[in-house]
């Protein structure tokens, strides 16, 4: 009974803290501007199924994609076993789902094979990161916590899988010895070999190890659940809504600032009255900010993107600016956005509202040098396995620089002046346009 009560307390606390963290992240995402992405539901659903569930974009790098698929499937399916562990924990039963007979045996056996494949895949991931040192895992923005985060989760997954196999191995021995409470259930194609290590132990030692692994496994899973919201691994959950709300427009199709668009439309409209008085501004309307300076100026989808980023670096490794040694890394754009959003969220937690802290995403987290290095080629958007759009954030921050701070690079200012004066980006008069065709 004490074990059941302890389990109940641990379980309720874990769920409580997880829900609290998720609510905070949801609140932070809602700080963003509104954007309507409720159109084309069937296309959105298909995109989610293809990209998040089917991991279609991971196939661009087949080896990493395959191993990620193993870890993903292994982790999701093996955690179905958690359902049984939770019921057993609360009810004080043992292998409660074993009434399913042969199907149960098959599932437990299948999970064991998946557990071994997951251990192997995690080991390969650790080697790629820490021994081979693949470049995209060692960029500037990956020093410190982001690098530890990835390693922590890989070691944790290995430890959880070993605990699962050890739990099964001792259970297998106890079942064979007819120990009380350990009913015969499950098939153990892997752990029955692993059980050789424990064969000489007494029943009480085996029960101790089995109980320890059982607790380690479930506490590890619940701990992992609470670790998700503070790590890049929250993408396990957010990949689904994030791909559902993907940008379905063609890549390269830019959004317009409505206020600027209206001005241009009037200029191009032959029927427009150039002397018409402008409409009266709404005194209750929020002042319009052109572009984005801080996270609240971005849309909720862009903020959701930042929490969904897996920090895989595929975007950065495809980025021509990064490849040619520029400061820009699209992954760092997403990480900075999330870090600033977290900071704003903590500010709200502390003060009850977002008290001005004198900081902003632009300048304090992302510099103009990074922004102007972008060629707006969309390679990062194309490469992202969870349909994140770093370019849209870059463009919004640049818009702020140009429209609110008049801080475009000299070359761009010259080009704009030339377009305004000469109708072309070059510094030559319209009258001289056909000089090139003049015979000497």
Residues 242 and 13: their CA atoms lie apart, in Å, by: 28
* 150 versus 218: smaller Cβ distance to ligand SF4: 150
Q: Which is closer to ligand SF4, CB of 84 or CB of 311?
A: 311
CB of 148 to ligand SF4, least distance (A): 17
Nearer to ligand SF4, 375 or 417 (CB): 375
Which SS3 state, helix, strand or coil, does residue 408 take? Answer: coil
Query: What are the tokens at 125?
Result: 């991931």
Q: Which residue has the tokens 């987290």?
A: 365
Closest distance of CB 246 from ligand SF4, Å = 12
> Among all chains, which residue has been given the structure tokens 């194609």?
189
- Which is nearest to 109 in space by CA: 224, 216, 187, 215? 187
Least gap, CB of 6 to ligand SF4 (angstroms): 38
Q: Shortest Cβ distance from residue 346 to ligand SF4 (Å)?
A: 22
* Interface contacts to ligand SF4, rule CB under 6 A: 309-315, 318-321, 328, 330-331, 334, 374-380, 383-384, 386, 388, 390-391
Q: Which two tokens stand for residue 343?
A: 């900071």
Closest CA to 288 of 399, 440, 438: 399
Q: How far is CA 360 from CA 71, 289, 337, 365, 368, in A?
A: 37, 14, 10, 7, 13
Taking the complex as a whole, how short is the minimal distance between the CB of residue 332 and ligand SF4, in angstroms? 9
| Nearest distance in Å: CB 380, ligand SF4 | 3
Question: With respect to ligand SF4, which residue has the nearer C-beta, 235 or 293?
Answer: 235
Q: Are 373 and 327 in contact (CB under 8 A)?
A: yes
Q: How far is the CB of 47 from ligand SF4 (least distance, A)?
A: 15
Q: Which is nearer to ligand SF4, 320 or 368 (CB)?
A: 320
Strand partners, 366: 362
Q: Which is nearer to ligand SF4, 151 or 429 (CB)?
A: 151
> Quick one: 40 exposed, middle or buried, by C-beta within 10 A (0-12, 13-18, 19+)?
exposed
Q: Count CA atoms within 13 Å of residue 14 on its CB side.
A: 18
Among positive and negative, which fits the CA dihedral 217, 223, 226, 231?
A: negative
Alpha-carbon torsion (139, 140, 142, 148), positive or negative: positive
Between 51 and 386, name the residue whose CB sits nearer to ligand SF4. Answer: 386
Mention every residue, 6+ apart, whose C-beta is less than 8 A from residue 221: 79, 82, 160
Measured from the CB of residue 26, what is the shortest distance to ligand SF4 in angstroms?
20
CA–CA separation, 174 and 204 (whole Å) = 10
Of 23 and 133, which has the nearer Cβ to ligand SF4? Answer: 133
């Amino acid at each position: 009974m004490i074990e059941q009560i302890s389990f109940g307390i641990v379980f309720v606390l874990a769920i409580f803290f997880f829900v609290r963290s998720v609510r905070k992240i949801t609140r932070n995402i809602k700080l963003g501007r509104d954007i309507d992405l409720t159109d084309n539901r069937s296309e959105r659903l298909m995109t989610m199924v293809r990209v998040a569930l089917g991991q279609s974009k991971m196939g661009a790098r087949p080896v990493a994609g395959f191993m990620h698929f193993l870890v993903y499937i292994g982790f999701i399916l093996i955690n179905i076993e958690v359902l049984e562990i939770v019921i057993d924990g609360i009810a004080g039963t043992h292998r409660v789902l074993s009434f399913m007979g042969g199907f149960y045996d098959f599932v437990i056996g299948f999970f064991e094979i998946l557990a071994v494949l997951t251990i192997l895949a995690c080991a390969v991931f650790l080697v790629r990161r820490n021994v081979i040192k693949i470049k995209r895992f060692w960029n500037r923005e990956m020093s410190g916590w982001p690098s530890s985060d990835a390693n922590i989760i890989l070691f944790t997954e290995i430890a959880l899988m070993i605990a699962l196999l050890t739990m099964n191995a001792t259970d297998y021995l106890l079942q064979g010895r007819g120990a009380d409470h350990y009913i015969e259930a499950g098939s153990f194609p892997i752990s029955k070999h692993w059980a050789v290590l424990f064969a000489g132990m007494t029943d009480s030692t085996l029960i101790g190890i089995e109980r320890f692994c059982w607790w380690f496994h479930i506490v590890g899973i619940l701990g992992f659940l609470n670790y998700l919201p503070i790590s890049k691994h929250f993408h396990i959950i957010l990949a689904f809504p994030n791909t559902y709300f993907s940008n379905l427009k063609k890549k390269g199709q830019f959004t317009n600032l409505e206020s600027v668009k209206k001005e241009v439309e009037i200029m191009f409209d032959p029927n427009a009255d150039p002397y018409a008085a402008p409409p009266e501004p709404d005194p209750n309307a929020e002042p319009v900010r052109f572009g984005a300076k801080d996270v609240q100026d971005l849309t909720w989808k862009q903020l959701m993107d930042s929490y969904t980023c897996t920090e895989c670096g595929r975007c950065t490794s495809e980025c021509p600016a990064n490849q040619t040694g520029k400061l820009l890394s699209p992954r760092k754009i997403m990480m900075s956005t999330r870090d600033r959003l977290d900071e704003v969220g903590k500010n709200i937690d502390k003060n009850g509202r977002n008290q001005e802290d004198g900081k902003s995403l632009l300048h304090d987290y992302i510099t103009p040098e990074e922004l102007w290095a972008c060629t707006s080629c969309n390679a990062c958007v194309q490469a992202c396995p969870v349909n994140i759009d770093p370019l849209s954030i870059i463009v919004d921050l640049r818009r702020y620089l140009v429209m609110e701070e008049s801080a475009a690079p000299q070359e761009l200012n010259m080009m704009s002046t030339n377009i305004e004066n000469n109708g072309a980006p070059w510094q030559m008069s319209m009258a001289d346009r056909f000089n090139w065709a003049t015979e000497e």
